[in-house]
């Protein structure tokens, strides 16, 4: 009977262990599923956060472009007023103060990343230049590249984005072949 009791106890222990193992396995699987789901959600949130930061940076750049585009006519007015001031008034203190205010304004734009588009003597690029006039004497030439001959209004860029194209007068560059025929 002792042997039967021992075997019964062993069978009970085995049954209890089997029951515990079968209960732990689904519990462990459930815990692993929850952990995996949490990890996926955490990664999804990190991606969402990254996307939102990119969206905000794009929005900030767009607002910056719009704002500075509206300031450019003010800078143009400063420059026109300075050019139109008679020579005898240019030595006055108020003119110097006015010129200094214009310089501060231009420096602020430069500090914000606004760049003047270089034009004089450069090859015409329709992405950054707007041709307002074509030089009369060179209109009929067939060969040569279009070269900026005169800047009529400054153009500005913010990084690679053109806020306003430079308005220019263009003419064709004379090639050696054409210059020899002219002589």
pLDDT tens column, 137-146: 554 445 568 8
pLDDT, position 139: 47
**pLDDT tens per residue across span 149-177:** 999 999 999 989 999 999 999 988 765 55
> Could you give the CA distance from residue 112 to residue 61 in angstroms, rounded to a whole number?
11
Can you give the pLDDT at residue 23?
A: 54
Q: 24-28, 75-79, 81-85 — which is least confidently predicted?
A: 24-28
Q: Report the distance separating Cα 153 and Cα 72, nearest Å.
A: 11
Q: How far is the C-alpha of 79 from the C-alpha of 64, rounded, in Å?
A: 22
Distance CA 98, CA 111 (A): 20
Instruction: Using a pLDDT cut of 70, give the percent of the chain over it.
Output: 77
Which tokens is 95 given? 């003119």
CA distances from 159 to 23, 110, 115, 134, 181 (A): 63, 11, 8, 29, 43
Residue 114 pLDDT exceeds 80: yes
Q: What is the mean pLDDT of residues 52-79?
A: 94
Q: The pTM is what? A: 0.66
3-state secondary structure of 129: strand
Rg of the chain (C-alpha set): 38
- pLDDT of amino acid 28: 87
6 confidence band (pLDDT: 50, 70, 90):
low
Yes or no: say if 115 and 157 are a contact pair by the CB < 8 Å rule: yes
pLDDT above 60: residue 27: yes
- What does the alpha-carbon distance between residue 62 and residue 72 come to, in Å, rounded to a whole number? 16
């Amino acid at each position: 009977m002792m042997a039967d009791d021992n075997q019964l106890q062993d069978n009970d222990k085995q049954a209890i262990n089997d029951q515990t193992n079968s209960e732990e396995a689904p519990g462990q699987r459930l815990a692993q599923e929850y952990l995996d789901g949490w990890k996926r959600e955490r990664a999804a949130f990190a991606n969402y956060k990254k996307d939102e930061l990119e969206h905000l940076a794009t929005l900030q750049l767009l607002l910056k472009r719009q704002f500075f585009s509206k300031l450019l006519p003010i800078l143009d007015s400063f420059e026109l007023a300075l050019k139109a001031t008679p020579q005898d008034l240019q030595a006055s203190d108020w003119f110097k103060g006015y010129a200094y205010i214009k310089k501060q304004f231009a420096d602020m734009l430069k500090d914000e990343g606004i760049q003047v588009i270089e034009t004089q003597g450069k090859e015409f690029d329709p992405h950054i230049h707007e041709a307002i006039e074509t030089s009369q004497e060179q209109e009929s030439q067939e060969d040569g590249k279009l070269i900026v001959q005169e800047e009529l209004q400054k153009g500005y860029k913010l990084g690679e984005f053109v806020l306003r194209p430079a308005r220019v007068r263009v003419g064709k560059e004379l090639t050696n072949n054409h210059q020899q025929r002219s002589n």
